[in-house]
Amino acid sequence: MFVDQVTIQVQSGHGGAGCVSFRREKYVPKGGPDGGDGGRGGDVVLVADAGLSTLAELRYRKHYDADNGAPGQGAGKSGRSGQVREVRVPAGTVVWDAESGEVLRDLTRDGERWVAAHGGRGGLGNRHFATPTRQAPRHAQPGLPGSARTLRLELKLLADVALVGFPNAGKSTLIARISAARPKVADYPFTTLVPNLGVVTWGDFRSFVVADIPGLIEGAHLGRGLGDRFLRHTERSRYLCLLADVTAVAEPPPDVALPALRRELMAYDERLAAREWCVTATKMDAADPDARAAAEAFAKEQGVPFFEVSAATGQGIEALVYHLGRTVDALKAAAPESAESSADEADPEKDDRYREIWGEEA
């Protein structure tokens, strides 16, 4: 089941309370306070996992809670910190605050971690409050409460190449031909209802990832035919491959379909206008000469590469795959990925909240 949007609630652990205790040993008449500190509450951490392709695992479980910190003990013993709760999500997941609509994080790299909810700080034991004038303090601090958040997770597929076209343009048949992906293929529109990913090998054991985007229609950027949800998966693609059915019964014909696809892409996200792309005429085994010529003329007018393929016979497949692989390698070399971020991010509000509740002596 392909799920690309879910809403979850996360709750970090509460900090443990500090301990009020005094050292009582034989021959030690003035042992003094020795209450230990409470343990820190556990964090809730989102972890990007390239092995996941959908958010389906989070669809039925909405609440993710971390452990609370344990209270401190006598003899200066600190309480155990709460265990961190990890929530694994697919690489390419965008995290939104469900209440404010703010984008909090974009998890794009495998293994990238982000603290969604910081655990509460543990309270200080009474040994911290001993002074020359107050040598036996009988108070300690409670732990800070954990934080809760409602998050909306939105998946945008990470693919090197996106196959874009109107319904029945041959996208699913093409991805099945060039990769091990096996999407549903049929002779009626909107056969593909969810994006499909496939790994294409080429050259000397090199590979790239291609995404089959469900068929778009006029007004897709406005949400017609769920087009805005489908277009979302083109945002991270390095390269766009526009497919056009060049048979005599194609609806709409290439001279209408290709300009419409470009308009929808640019209307959805202006950055897609700068993305490199090509035009591919599909179903060449049953091509209409006029339709084929119209597709080639559009590609020539736009100054982009043009390819002719037939997934049924294999015509032009090798040339297209070689072009896509070589272009993807060049784009990767030109824009190397940045270093991974760490989950050990400071909570800017944590110390301020602590001082606000217990004063500067904290």
Helix (H, G, I), strand (E, B) or coil at 171: helix
Its pTM stands at 0.70
Helix (H, G, I), strand (E, B) or coil at 188: coil
Total count of domains within the chain = 2
198 and 131 in a single domain? The answer is no
Please give the Cα distance from 316 to 243 (Å, whole number).
14
User: Would residue 345 count as lying in a domain?
Assistant: no
Inter-residue contact 180 to 197 (CB < 8 Å)? no
224 and 311 in a single domain? The answer is yes
User: Would residue 346 count as lying in a domain?
Assistant: no
171 and 237 in a single domain? The answer is yes
Q: What is the mean pLDDT of residues 183-188?
A: 50
25 and 56 in a single domain? The answer is yes
User: Would residue 168 count as lying in a domain?
Assistant: yes
Enumerate long-range contacts of 257-260, CB under 8 Å, 24 or more apart. 257/165, 257/166, 257/169, 258/295, 258/298, 259/298, 260/166, 260/218
Q: Give 338-360 as a DSSP string.
A: PPPPPS----TTHHHHHHHHH-T
Supply the pLDDT for residue 229: 59
Which residue range is the domain that position 16 belongs to?
5-155
Residue 149 pLDDT exceeds 80: yes
User: Would residue 221 count as lying in a domain?
Assistant: yes
Residue 184 pLDDT exceeds 60: no
Who has greater pLDDT, 259 or 337?
A: 259
Largest Cα–Cα distance of the chain, in whole Å?
105
Identify whether 145 is preceded by a cis peptide bond (ω within 30 of 0): no
* DSSP tag of 23: -
What percentage of residues in the chain have a pLDDT greater than 70?
Answer: 84
Q: Strand ranges (DSSP E) for 21-147?
A: 44-49, 63-65, 85-90, 93-97, 103-107, 113-117
149 and 186 in a single domain? The answer is no
User: Would residue 141 count as lying in a domain?
Assistant: yes
User: Would residue 208 count as lying in a domain?
Assistant: yes
46 and 95 in a single domain? The answer is yes
Supply the pLDDT for residue 2: 54
The tens digit of pLDDT for each residue in 208-218 reads 888 888 767 66
Report the CATH number that the domain containing residue 327 is assigned in CATH. 3.40.50.300
Residue 338 pLDDT exceeds 60: no
Supply the pLDDT for residue 183: 55
Mean pLDDT, the chain, as a whole number?
83
The tens digit of pLDDT for each residue in 255-299 reads 999 999 888 888 888 888 888 999 999 999 999 999 999 999 999
Helix (H, G, I), strand (E, B) or coil at 302: helix
| Distance of alpha carbon 255 from the chain centroid | 36
145 and 167 in a single domain? The answer is no
User: Would residue 317 count as lying in a domain?
Assistant: yes
171 and 318 in a single domain? The answer is yes
220 and 330 in a single domain? The answer is yes
Strand partners, 85: 44
Residue 347 pLDDT exceeds 60: no
Q: Give 211-244 as a DSSP string.
A: EEPPPP-TTGGGTGGGHHHHHGGGTT-SEEEEEE
93: left (phi over 0), alpha (psi -120 to 50) or beta: beta
144 and 171 in a single domain? The answer is no
The tens digit of pLDDT for each residue in 298-321 reads 999 999 999 999 988 999 999 999
Report the CATH number that the domain containing residue 39 is assigned in CATH. 2.70.210.12
Inter-residue contact 154 to 4 (CB < 8 Å)? yes
Supply the pLDDT for residue 194: 62
Is 184 buried (19+), middle (13-18) or exposed (0-12) by CB count in 10 A?
A: exposed
Inter-residue contact 59 to 157 (CB < 8 Å)? no
Supply the pLDDT for residue 360: 46
| Residue where a domain terminates, one of 93, 125, 155 | 155
User: Band of the pLDDT at 159, cuts 50, 70, 90?
Assistant: confident
150 and 182 in a single domain? The answer is no
User: Would residue 355 count as lying in a domain?
Assistant: no
28 and 114 in a single domain? The answer is yes
